[in-house]
Amino acid sequence: MQIKPITRLLTGLALSVAALAGPAAARDVPLEAAFDSAFGTELRQPRDYNATYRNALEQSLALVADGSAGRIGVAALDLSTGQEIAILGDQRFPMASTSKIAIAATFMEGVEQGRWSLSSEFPLMLPVRSAPFSSAVAPVRPGQHMSARDLLELMITRSSNPATDALLAAVGGPAAVNDWAQRAGISEFHLARDIATLVRDDGEIDPAQTVDVRDSATPRAMVQLLSGLYQGRFLSDSSRRVILGAMERCRTGTRRIPALMPGGVTVAHKTGSLNNTSSDIGIVTGPDGRAIVVAIYVTGQGSRLNREAKIANIARTIYDGYQSGTVLANATY
């Protein structure tokens, strides 16, 4: 099927690239190379200059994930076939609260090692009012003690920041989570701050205009994180059930990945929201049991509602594309 040419989206500042315009030959120009021409390459690893649209689904996604109003990164993996798709999948995006899945995994590793248990109690870490950027780490104070099981539930299902910082402090801070990710083989992941500091200093950098590697990951890295959890490569079956079960009960992001899914589809997911950015990562399981891991990061787009609508449409495009077989069987993954 002939794909419509896509208008070149780079402006003088080149806020983002979702697709490239031009005649048929121009469709071979890689998206990442165009992004690099605007932002430079020093903030991006790995530099996948040979990336092209490998199949009809990626071409369709490039139209849906129009990033003219802000960068959009997408990655997905069909766990039944191993077929992967990505648009700007190797670009860094703000993780926001999607990082909480890695924090949960780090904590559950400690449970398996006997360092603590799900019945162990830790205090909520409540933020203390302070001026933005007034300190390297935002001040917090201990609050109510809660069991780790309840803290995990609040962290994932309701995205509670005090609950997250309670468990983050328990494991040893961002460095411990980065260590877990590295040992899991997830290299394009970096947590720099606790959530209290991240939220207090939010707005310093506009992610639609600037790539900030702090507290960032690539969409492909987050797909790697979720697929490893789902397949039991990182944690025991009981540990993975704790995390995935909470993701299935997620109360945030009803307008994101789950919004446009057909009946019979279940979604286990975790949202993220910060200044000018919204995201959702999750596992979409069809009535036939087919599981698709999805990571969607959206910046700009004018409003949070617009970003959420983008996420919902991208997620449905991915689901329909895999179901209809528009990912070509002979594509290179």
Identity at 91, one-letter amino acid code = Q
Alpha-carbon distance of 45 to 246, in angstroms, equals 31
Tokens of 117: 């248990």
Residue 163, beta-bridge partner list = none
Q: Is 47's pLDDT higher than 50?
A: no
Residue 183's closest CA among 102, 104, 238, 293?
A: 102
Across 228-237, average pLDDT: 96
In this predicted structure, what is the pLDDT of residue 5? 30
Is cis: bond before 46, omega within 30 of 0?
yes
Dump strand ranges (E) for 205-306: 216-217, 266-274, 277-285, 291-299
Residue 78, beta-bridge partner list = 292
Alpha-carbon distance of 178 to 189, in angstroms, equals 7
| Residue in the block written with tokens 């092209």 | 52
In this predicted structure, what is the pLDDT of residue 33? 38
In this predicted structure, what is the pLDDT of residue 105? 98
Phi, psi of 74 (to 5 degrees): -140, 140
Across 94-100, average pLDDT: 97
In this predicted structure, what is the pLDDT of residue 126? 97
Instruction: Please count the helices (runs of H) and the strands (runs of E) in the chain.
Output: 10, 10
H-helix or E-strand containing 310? helix 304-324
Tokens of 243: 């995390």
Tell me the domain boundaries of the chain.
24-324
137-161 confidence digits (pLDDT tens): 999 999 999 999 999 999 999 999 9
In this predicted structure, what is the pLDDT of residue 210? 87
In this predicted structure, what is the pLDDT of residue 323? 86
The CATH number of domain 24-324, selected from 3.20.20.80, 3.40.710.10, 3.90.75.20, 1.20.1560.10 = 3.40.710.10
Evaluate whether 327 touches 321 at the Cβ level (below 8 Å): yes
Tokens of 238: 């009981």
Contacts of 80 (CB under 8 A, 6+ apart): 290, 291
Q: Is 282's pLDDT higher than 80?
A: yes
17-34 confidence digits (pLDDT tens): 333 233 333 333 333 333
Alpha-carbon distance of 259 to 74, in angstroms, equals 17
Angle at which helices 174-183 and 161-171 cross, to 10°: 70
How large a percentage of the chain has pLDDT more than 90? 70
Dump strand ranges (E) for 222-290: 266-274, 277-285
Identity at 204, one-letter amino acid code = E
Across 283-312, average pLDDT: 94
DSSP 39-67: H-STT-SS--TT----SHHHHHHHHHT--
50-92 confidence digits (pLDDT tens): 345 566 666 666 666 666 778 899 999 999 999 999 988 999 9
H-helix or E-strand containing 84? strand 84-87
102-130 confidence digits (pLDDT tens): 999 999 999 999 999 999 999 999 999 99
Number of neighbours of residue 79 by Cβ within 10 angstroms: 16
Q: Is 25 exposed, middle or buried (0-12, 13-18, 19+ CB in 10 A)?
A: exposed
Alpha-carbon distance of 307 to 72, in angstroms, equals 9
Contacts of 98 (CB under 8 A, 6+ apart): 217, 222, 270, 271, 272, 279, 280, 281, 295
In this predicted structure, what is the pLDDT of residue 272? 96
